[in-house]
A and B are shown apart, each in its own frame.
Chain A
Amino acid sequence: MNSIDALKELLYKIADDQLIIGHRNSEWNGLGPILEEDIAFSSMAQDKMGQSEHIYNLLNQLGEKDADTVAFTRNAPQFHNCQFVELPIGGYDFSLLRHFLFDFAELLRFENLKDSSYQPLALVAKKFHGEIKYHTMHANTWVYQLGNGTEESHLKMQTALNEHWNTALGIFEPGPAEDILINEKISMGEKALQKKWLEVVVPLLEKSNLKVPAESTWEPVYGGRYGTHSENLQPLLTEMTEVFIIDPTADW
């Protein structure tokens, strides 16, 4: 794998994560627990989709097809997102926890990518900074409230954390060319990212009275970065592309 292919692989996984979690979180639109939260969550979902478009545009500049085509015409095995983002929204407990765990990973990923040797990516990373910082503020405020809230809210958050921790660790599945990305200073690599993420999320979860499962039980759910997905991804793609597929050449 040469460095351009390694870079493309990195961009695909970032953009696919954002597109899929953006679509998933948009499923709360109109169903959020209160009006203000409904608007906030939908708005952040929209941010994610907008960010994915920026990354797909970078891929387009590297010779890949245009953003709409790559977003709407691939099937599940061609997607590089981690399985964590494709899981159904479940209850608001899980959706908030995923928002927390995923967005802190994104915040740290883009903080590192601001110094990427691939300039176009560094510029995009700087552009996303404010949005993602707000997303993590939103997530952390909620997790703190619910973790320290009533017995019921605490139990729901702790249960969601226990059930989905291993899938969350799948965010950091090493890609096929980690050494190239690290040596060429394109990114710090998934292993280093996971380490940074743990240093940030574990203390925040503790402040929210939530305990990360014991390290001896960790079994990261990998496969997503190589096109292996749960049964949940294809139905999502079918629904997301339903209108586009009717007439792919239509002007919007």
Chain B
Amino acid sequence: MAQEDNKVITSLDPRITRAQVTPGNTEDMGELIHFQTYEVFHQKKRGAQHQHVGIVHAPNADMALLYAKEQYARREVTANLWVAPSSCISATEYHDDDIFATAPEKLYRNPATYKVMDRIKAFKERGMKPTDEI
């Protein structure tokens, strides 16, 4: 095994062969990992809300911003980016997800149940202004 570790990887891609890559020893990798994940928030235009779009892996916030630009703003219209260490995010527990269950008798809290669309439709059909009485 040790012998195979030192064997240089050859490839049809000349760049790989030229790079003299060996499979190496990955046992002590744990000590080398001082990166952390950052949550990335993307803003399309000034004034709009930042939307969570994913994570990047980086040693600090400056580098995280560089990588966020490349991963999440390369092909998007972008006004601004935020990054925050994933460790700074507080989250609810999935085993508590029953707290989100809405009791059926409280459906009136759900905006979809308002009869507002009927009124909007009525206004449009009659060419009325919002201030007019039906």
- Which positions in A face B, CB cutoff 8 Å? 27, 29-31, 34-37, 39-40, 43, 134, 137-138, 141-142, 145, 239
- Total number of residue pairs linking A and B with CB closer than 8 Å: 40
Q: Is the CB of A31 within 8 A of B15?
A: yes
Q: Is the CB of B74 within 8 A of A43?
A: yes
Q: Is the CB of A34 within 8 A of B57?
A: yes
Number of interface residues of B (CB under 8 A): 21
The yes or no answer to B16 lying at the interface (CB within 8 A) is: yes
Q: Is the CB of A37 within 8 A of B67?
A: yes
Q: Is the CB of A30 within 8 A of B56?
A: no
A-side interface mostly: helix
Which residue, of A31, A35, A36, A145, has the highest number of chain B Cβ atoms within 10 A?
A36
**Given the complex, which residues of A lie within 8 Å of B35, measured CB to CB?**
34
Q: Least Cβ distance of A106 to chain B in Å?
A: 18
Q: Is the CB of A31 within 8 A of B16?
A: yes
The answer for the CA separation of A137 and B69 in the assembled complex, in Å, is 11
The answer for the CA separation of A244 and B122 in the assembled complex, in Å, is 66
Which residue, of B13, B21, B63, B70, has the highest number of chain A Cβ atoms within 10 A?
B70
Asked if A40 meets B66 with Cβ closer than 8 Å, knowing A31-B21, A35-B57, the reply is yes
Q: Least Cβ distance of A102 to chain B in Å?
A: 18
The yes or no answer to B81 lying at the interface (CB within 8 A) is: no
The yes or no answer to B84 lying at the interface (CB within 8 A) is: no
Q: Least Cβ distance of A46 to chain B in Å?
A: 10
The list of the 5 closest CB pairs from A to B, nearest first, reads A36-B67, A40-B70, A27-B15, A141-B62, A31-B19
**Given the complex, which residues of B lie within 8 Å of A30, measured CB to CB?**
13, 15-16
The answer for the CA separation of A40 and B66 in the assembled complex, in Å, is 8
The answer for the CA separation of A40 and B3 in the assembled complex, in Å, is 34
Q: Least Cβ distance of B51 to chain A in Å?
A: 20
